[in-house]
Amino acid sequence: MPQLPFGADEYAVRVRKTRQEMSARGLDAIFVTDPSNMAWLTGYDGWSFYVHQGVLLTLEGEPVWWGRAMDAIGAQRTTYLQHDNIVGYDDTYVQNPSKHPMETLVSMMADRGVVAGRIGFELDNYYFTAAAFMALQSGLKQADLVDVTGLVNWQRAVKSETEISYIRAAARIVEKMHTVVRETAEPGMRKNDLIADLYHASITGVDEYWGDYPAIVPMAPSGMDATAPHLSWDDSPLKTGESTFFEIAGAYRRYQCPQSRTLFLGKVPQKYIDAEKAVLEAVEAGLAQARPGNLCEDIATAFNGTLNKLGFEKDSRCGYAIGLSYPPDWGERTMSFRAGDKTVLEPGMTFHFMPALWLDDGGLEITEPILITETGAECLCTTPRELVIKD
């Protein structure tokens, strides 16, 4: 048997929770293509999400993994499934415009008697295409195809103790990465050399915790590039008089712990000092609301109210759920800290509290990964919460 990151009992709980939600929605089966959901339900872990694959779950029996035949070996190595429930399709279906892999999924479902009733698909998913849905519509004419985007994601909202331990391990790794920035960044250093050091720190890990690959590459823009939120890096040298924010994550067994800090080389302009003060006060106000029974929007209201009072404004959400993730995103695509999100906070939920500001000549990101506990919010990292200033 494969050495899975969780015990059989935990996978059984996950399947049971998912089936309860399926029953509540009147679903006979779901087919999930999000690799995070596939891994959460079955343990499957492979870089194969660039081809069509997924997990079929009905109301009885084991889930069924379906994907490219060569990746079926990986499913045997990383899941608890019986080999009869691991089904691969012929390689001639890979990136072949004359036929579609979903034709074989329909055949597999027919073999297992799943051709009618209400069948759910993750329609708004990175890994599920319009062509895939059209092929399924053509092949499953007796079924009612419904959207179940987020169904499994929401079952993942409250983390188990083992999951939390993995996120804590990832937190130790991202702390190490920020230490590398503090100790090695200097004017004239090529950005790509610094990123290489960060990758080395992230993959070597900390103590017994080896580093997995993060779901997002390091974001590390400087100067005017840092007025945009999602630029990565190049070979330009770090410059005196510029800010560089580092939005990076540690990862362990696919569990992600993102955290951001901002580096300023040289004398810091007053507006950055003012922005740092405003963000830190607003973070404290938001953290005070991050406790069981409150709503996600309560954190955003407290954060934005404090930020606005101090003369700054953020027009995007200031946090989101994190946990088990694959590229291209380390968020769970469920809860957000913003007005209108009425989700009730519960112990065991984990978030990236993301109070970033993008100014007219740079950016300021000082963020915290947090765990909702029985009494409030626990910041998972010990990285100093401040603007990093180096001459």
Q: Which residues make beta-bridge pairs with 320?
A: 336, 352
Average pLDDT across the chain, whole number:
97
pLDDT, average across residues 296-301 = 98
> Is the pLDDT confidence value at 302 over 90?
yes
Q: Which domains does the chain have, with CATH numbers?
A: 8-155 (3.40.350.10), 161-390 (3.90.230.10)
pLDDT, average across residues 162-190 = 98
What distance in Å separates the CA atoms of residue 382 and residue 179, rounded to the nearest whole number? 11
* H/E segment holding residue 368: strand 368-372
C-alpha distance across the termini of the chain, in Å: 55
* H/E segment holding residue 284: helix 270-288
- From the CB of residue 7, how many other CB atoms can be counted at a distance below 10 Å? 11
CA distances (Å), 86 to each of 78, 79, 121, in order? Answer: 11, 9, 19
Quote the pLDDT of residue 255.
98
Quote the pLDDT of residue 220.
97
- 263 is written with which tokens? 């580096």
Tens digits of residue pLDDT in 189-247: 999 999 999 999 999 999 999 999 999 999 999 999 999 999 999 999 999 999 999 99
Quote the pLDDT of residue 358.
85
pLDDT, average across residues 40-61 = 98
- 341 is written with which tokens? 């999100």
* H/E segment holding residue 178: helix 161-184
pLDDT band at 391 (very low <50, low <70, confident <90, very high): confident
> Is the pLDDT confidence value at 262 over 90?
yes
Instruction: Kindly report whether the peptide bond that precedes residue 187 is cis, defined as omega within 30 degrees of 0.
Output: no
> Is the pLDDT confidence value at 375 over 80?
yes
Percent of the chain with pLDDT over 70: 100
Q: Which residues make beta-bridge pairs with 331?
A: 322
Tens digits of residue pLDDT in 114-167: 999 999 999 999 999 999 999 999 999 999 999 999 999 999 999 999 999 999
Tens digits of residue pLDDT in 336-358: 999 999 999 999 999 999 998 98
Q: What is the residue-wise DSSP string for 301-329?
A: HHHHHHHHHTT----S--EEEESB--TT-
What distance in Å separates the CA atoms of residue 20 and residue 35, rounded to the nearest whole number? 21
Cβ neighbours of residue 289 closer than 8 Å, sequence gap 6 or more: 298, 299, 301, 302
Select from 97, 93, 125, 95 the least CA-distant residue to 106. Answer: 93
What distance in Å separates the CA atoms of residue 300 and residue 5, rounded to the nearest whole number? 34
> Is the pLDDT confidence value at 1 over 90?
no
Quote the pLDDT of residue 2.
85
What distance in Å separates the CA atoms of residue 294 and residue 303, rounded to the nearest whole number? 14
More confident residue, 5 or 356: 5
Rounded to 5 degrees, φ, ψ at 55 are -125, 125
Cβ neighbours of residue 89 closer than 8 Å, sequence gap 6 or more: 66, 67, 68, 69, 101, 104, 105
Tens digits of residue pLDDT in 70-117: 999 999 999 999 999 999 999 999 999 999 999 999 999 999 999 999
pTM of the model: 0.97
